[in-house]
């Protein structure tokens, strides 16, 4: 059974207390995220890569500006030979991902499926199941998990490797996810 792990949005701006959009308690899951990343048969990490005047900043404060410290992932969550997949028209080929231990999918919106290359990557990987973890449970984790459910494959969320901003909304998100066929592990 081919499994793809999804490390959702764990840059310093979200997981560090000094980060621009710190998720309270997110630093407490970093060891688990790092362990999951290291044990992943195939790993996709999502990463915001905003410009200084990104439209998302109308809704959220500045965060994860490409090239800035806050956009970087904690070193413990990075694997050797990462491949960065930008969200723009470019000479992209899934063949270039063969040697990558970690596929970092850049995005400029909450939903990782807005990256124009993600669906091609998933098609190429042809996974039987997905394992999802990261932040924020009721926002980006939710969008990724429900998007992956649409593939018709088994999708699992790792409950001790996620963090939320609103616990009530996160609980409803997880209940809705299970009702849609997802599994909490």
DSSP 50-86: B-TT-GGGGTS-S--BTTSGGGSPPGGG--SSEEEE-
Three-state DSSP class for 46?
A: strand
CATH class of the domain defined by 3-184: alpha beta
145 confidence band (pLDDT: 50, 70, 90): very high
For tokens 């809704």, the residue is 59
The pLDDT, as a whole number, for residue 49 is: 96
Q: Read off the pLDDT of each residue in 37-64 and give the average, rounded to a whole number.
A: 95
Confidence of residue 86 (pLDDT cuts 50, 70, 90): confident
What pLDDT, on a 0 to 100 scale, did the predictor assign at position 71?
A: 96
Per-position b or e across 152-177, b if 16+ CB within 10 A of its CB: ebbbbbbeebbbbbeeeebeebbeeb
The pTM assigned to this predicted structure is: 0.94
Checking if the pLDDT of 32 tops 90, the result is yes
Going by pLDDT thresholds of 50, 70 and 90, the confidence category of residue 99 is confident
pLDDT of residue 100: 84
């Amino acid at each position: 059974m081919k499994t793809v792990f999804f490390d959702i949005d764990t840059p310093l701006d979200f997981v560090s207390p000094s980060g621009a959009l710190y998720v309270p308690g997110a630093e407490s899951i970093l060891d688990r995220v790092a362990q999951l990343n290291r044990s992943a048969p195939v790993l996709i990490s999502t990463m915001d890569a905003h410009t200084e005047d990104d439209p998302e900043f109308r809704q959220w404060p500045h965060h994860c500006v490409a090239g800035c410290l806050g956009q970087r992932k904690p070193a413990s969550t990075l694997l050797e030979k990462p491949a960065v997949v930008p969200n723009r028209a470019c000479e992209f080929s899934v063949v270039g991902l063969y040697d990558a231990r970690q596929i970092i999918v850049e995005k400029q919106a909450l939903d990782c499926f807005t990256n124009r290359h993600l669906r091609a990557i998933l098609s190429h990987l042809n996974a039987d199941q997905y394992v999802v973890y990261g932040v924020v449970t009721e926002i980006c984790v939710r969008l990724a998990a429900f998007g992956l459910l649409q593939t018709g494959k088994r999708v699992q969320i790792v409950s001790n490797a996620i963090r939320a901003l609103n616990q009530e909304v996160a609980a409803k998100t997880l209940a809705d996810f299970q009702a849609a066929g997802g599994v909490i592990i």
